[in-house]
Amino acid sequence: MRLTFLGSGGAFSDYRVNYHNNAFIETDEGLVLIDCGTTAVQSLKELGYHPRDVRAVLFTHLHGDHASPEQLMWERFYGPDADGQPGFASTTLCAPSDILDPLRRSLRPFMDIFTDRTGTIREGGVETLVDPLPTMQTELAGLQVRFFRVPHVAGATVDKAAYGIELSDGRNRILWSGDTTLSPDWVNRAATDSSVTRIFHECSFLAPYRGTVHSHWSELSELPDETLARITLMHHTVVPPDVDLSRTVGAAARHELFEL
Ligand SMILES: [Zn+2]
Ligand SMILES: [Zn+2]
């Protein structure tokens, strides 16, 4: 499995430092993106890819650093194909229904009135440009994809829809935490599962703001050594110079390729 980070930054990243925490896996059918924030297209282009190279986008949750696919979709539709002509390609958007349905509704004011391939201005842009794949579990471009619920912006009475993703290509299985508060149960269980190749887990090094949104390094560092030894940190933007990550596999960097 070849997984490349488009960025490993949080929502408030300075784009000169790091891009949003999005990634892609290379498949025979094209790139499968894990989230698509506002910096995804720029990052793809810096790596020599075009939005048309994307086979599908998986979404973990509805925050701007993860679910802003509008530019990607327009460029796939109107951007030139190999012959220099608009490709008019729709985009496969894949997520559980409680992510995908509101995402499609949110795109409507931006994308519904559009110019179709005949040059006619009409309604129906969202239906034309989106190829929706609402699912908790599917096979996509040779990957087994399973979403699992995680707590992110979770309080006593309300709980934002947010998911981690398990991905397998038949040889390697990875777990991608998405944005989440630390849930040691599934993380420790995954770490003792020999079929799991790597856990990519979000981590914040900012001043602790515990318990409701993200996983802080002060919490992650209390996990057992054997768990940390399976974890690559992400969504951190910058690792402070005085932090020792030697018990982990390290922290992902923008444009870093993981060959698993
Ligand atoms: Zn985020
Ligand atoms: Zn988030």
Query: pLDDT band at 209, cuts 50/70/90?
Result: confident
Going from the Cα of 122 to the center of ligand 2, the distance in angstroms, rounded, reads 34
Q: The domain 2-259 belongs to what CATH superfamily?
A: Ribonuclease Z/Hydroxyacylglutathione hydrolase-like (3.60.15.10)
Going from the Cα of 256 to the center of ligand 2, the distance in angstroms, rounded, reads 21
Q: Give the pLDDT confidence of 34-45 residue by residue, as tens digits.
A: 999 999 999 999
Going from the Cα of 249 to the center of ligand 1, the distance in angstroms, rounded, reads 21
Side-chain-side CA neighbours of 194 within 13 Å: the count stands at 0
Q: Which of these, 153, 136, 149, lies nearest to 211 by C-alpha position?
A: 153
Quick check: helix, strand or coil at residue 87? coil
Query: pLDDT band at 123, cuts 50/70/90?
Result: very high
Q: Give the pLDDT confidence of 146-190 residue by residue, as tens digits.
A: 999 999 999 889 999 999 999 999 999 999 999 999 999 999 999
Going from the Cα of 145 to the center of ligand 1, the distance in angstroms, rounded, reads 20
Going from the Cα of 254 to the center of ligand 1, the distance in angstroms, rounded, reads 15
Query: pLDDT band at 136, cuts 50/70/90?
Result: very high
Going from the Cα of 201 to the center of ligand 2, the distance in angstroms, rounded, reads 13
**Computed over its alpha carbons, how large is the radius of gyration of the chain?**
18
Q: Which residue has the tokens 């390609």?
A: 89
Residue pair 180/204 in contact by the 8 Å Cβ criterion = no
Q: Is the pLDDT of residue 210 over 80?
A: no
**Which DSSP string corresponds to 148-201?**
EE--SSB-SS-B--BEEEEEE-SS-EEEE--S----HHHHHHHHT-TT--EEEE
Q: Give the pLDDT confidence of 51-92 residue by residue, as tens digits.
A: 999 999 999 999 999 999 999 999 999 998 878 899 999 999
Collect residues with CB below 5 Å from ion ligand 1: 11, 65, 179
Average pLDDT over every residue of 9-38:
98
Side-chain-side CA neighbours of 76 within 13 Å: the count stands at 23
Going from the Cα of 152 to the center of ligand 2, the distance in angstroms, rounded, reads 7
- The pLDDT assigned to 211 comes to 61
Average pLDDT over every residue of 123-137:
98
The ligand that comes nearest to the alpha carbon of residue 162 is 2
Query: Mean pLDDT over all residues of the chain?
Result: 96
Q: Which residue has the tokens 């709980």?
A: 159
Sequence-ordered list of residues with C-beta below 8 angstroms from that of 197, at least 6 positions apart, any chain: 1, 172, 173, 174, 260
Residue pair 131/90 in contact by the 8 Å Cβ criterion = yes
Predicted TM-score (pTM) of the model is: 0.97
- The pLDDT assigned to 236 comes to 98
- The pLDDT assigned to 57 comes to 98
Q: Which of these, 165, 97, 92, lies nearest to 132 by C-alpha position?
A: 92
